[in-house]
Amino acid sequence: MAAAPQRDGMSPSDGTSAATEQPRQRRLPRLSAPPALRYAAYRNFWLGSLAAVGGFQVLQFGQLWLIHELTGSPIYLGYVGLANAVPAIVLNLAGGVVADRFDRRRLIIATQTITAALIVVLATLTAAGVVQVWHILAIAAVTGAVNAFNTPARMALFPHLIERPALMSAVALNSSIWQGTRIVAPAIAGVLVALFGTATAFYVAAAGNLTMAIVVVFLKVPAVKGGRSTNALLDLAEGLRFIGRNSIFSFLIGMTFFNSFFGMAYIMLMPVFAVDVLGVGAEGQGVMMSAGGIGSLLVTLWLGTRRNVKGKGFILIGGAIMTGLSLAAFALTSKYIGSLPLAVALLFFVGVFTSTYMISIMSSLQMLVPDNMRGRVMGFYGMTWNIMPLGGMQAGALAGFVGAPLAVAIGGLIVTAFAVGPALLNRQVRTLGALLDHAERRGAPQPAS
């Protein structure tokens, strides 16, 4: 078994963990670094991830801008997202198998380097003035396929860089990267495109991905390998059976699916709420979307500073229930009351509750899953996020029959119902908090089926 990650300034000489030494050495100041960032290896990993995710956001901005310049057609904007999402959905499970069969550290280095090389190709074609629509779509598809192998490996590696009590902090900090760069990176990309051209933005995106590869090359962490069998298909089947027969994993991943497919579908319908329901236009839509983002980012940053969070099971299930109810309240009050301030307030709480329970789900999965299954479970988990565009399609189709407010309200109530049902019917789900506390103290047991 690999040694526990060492925190800065500590050298456990008597076998006592850093977590138990800390109270004897000094009392932490009230304003201190988030627990996960006290581990040097995770801190470097987090900074590398910040560069890579920022690069992805810049790449996405540049791709959409460039294809609009070339075609002037809104439908091609959707084609870019589809080209990136479909390979990721199809290959996520295979990526999880590979993450369990090979050295995850080397896999991250390889995939980040390949992604950087693909972006450099797109940048060079753009700089030379010979880029075509099919180039953009093809590179979007291949980068999506590569990311299907990168994401499970990253999700499976970072728990080895910290101790268990800091796991929720690490998950929250990982989430804050996506939320923060979603706000900042498009603005940076816009400035780069306006001042230096789209090709320059692509080169910056490539540099971000390459930075992550370099960071992982020098990452001080023991090589972590999963068990390797003789048949990858058998490994895949084993992973699916493992998830299926363990109700806790089925429940946690199922909640992610319902959130992606039904809960987050409201984002695709926000223009309808802004224009047709509330009549506040593009500026009002921006305010509403910002409110949700601010709520989500605030709770993410707060959880990132926590080392011990009590009542994990209650927070997870309660957060899911309140997410669905807040979403339904937003949709119905927008239709029947028509108040922008009320809509903004409710979307703020949608962001708060969504981040609360999604971070809880991810940290619970990481706490409970055995390491030899970690890549496959994370691959399946990642696939549920990639179906979000399909959720938008179903919400749009339903809105055509019952209207956007009722379609969003139905989606929110479905999220709530999925959280309440298993909690009432499944004893393991009801005692999830105790299971997580035990895993944090003793290691990650495999839940009984």
pLDDT tens digits for 164-214? 778 878 888 888 888 777 777 877 888 888 889 999 999 999 999 999 999
pLDDT on residue 437: 64
Predicted confidence band of residue 6 (pLDDT cuts 50, 70, 90): low
User: Given the structure tokens 């690069």, which residue do they identify?
Assistant: 55
Which residue type is seen at 339? Answer: S
Element housing 218 (H / E): none
Structure token pair of residue 84: 């990136």
- Evaluate if residue 221 carries a pLDDT over 90: no
pLDDT tens digit string along 389-432? 677 778 888 888 898 899 999 999 999 998 888 767 666 666 66
Q: What's the pLDDT score for residue 127?
A: 94
Angle, in degrees to the nearest 10, between helices 167-196 and 198-217: 150
Is pLDDT above 60 for 449?
no
Is the pLDDT reported for residue 380 higher than 90? no
More confidently predicted of 261 and 348: 348
What is the average pLDDT value for the chain, to the nearest integer?
A: 81
Mean per-residue pLDDT, 3-29: 47
The predicted structure's pLDDT at residue 108: 93
- Planar angle of CA 300, 180, 433, nearest 5 degrees: 20
Angle (CA) 254-257-259 rounded to 5° is 110
Residues of 232-262 as b/e, b for ≥16 C-beta within 10 angstroms?
Answer: eeebbebbeebbeebbbbbbbbbbbbbbbbb
Q: What is the pLDDT of residue 426?
A: 67
pTM of structure: 0.74
Topology of domain 236-442, CATH? Growth Hormone; Chain: A; (1.20.1250)
Q: Is the model's pLDDT at 14 over the cut of 70?
A: no
Model pLDDT for residues 320-352, shown as the tens digit of each residue: 899 999 999 999 999 999 999 999 999 999 989
Residue range 5-22: average pLDDT?
46
Residues 82-88, mean pLDDT to the nearest whole number: 83
Choose between 374 and 148: higher pLDDT. Answer: 148
pLDDT of residue 440: 60
On the question of a common fold for 35-217 and 236-442, the answer reads yes
Rounded CA-CA distance 98/232 in Å is 8
> Which CATH number is associated with domain 35-217?
1.20.1250.20
Residue 108: which of 143, 154, 162 has the closest Cα? 154
Using CA atoms, how far apart are residues 141 and 89, in angstroms rounded to an integer? Answer: 11
Among 78, 79, 69, residue whose Cα is nearest residue 193: 69
Domain ranges of the chain: 35-217, 236-442
**pLDDT value for 119:** 96
DSSP conformation letters of 58-126? HHHHHHHHHHHHHH--HHHHHHHHHHHHHHHHHHHHHHHHHHHHS-HHHHHHHHHHHHHHHHHHHHHHH
Q: Any long-range contacts for 214-218 (C-beta under 8 Å, 24+ apart)? A: 214/48, 215/44, 215/45, 215/47, 215/48, 215/51, 216/45, 216/48, 216/105, 216/108, 216/109, 216/112, 217/109, 218/44
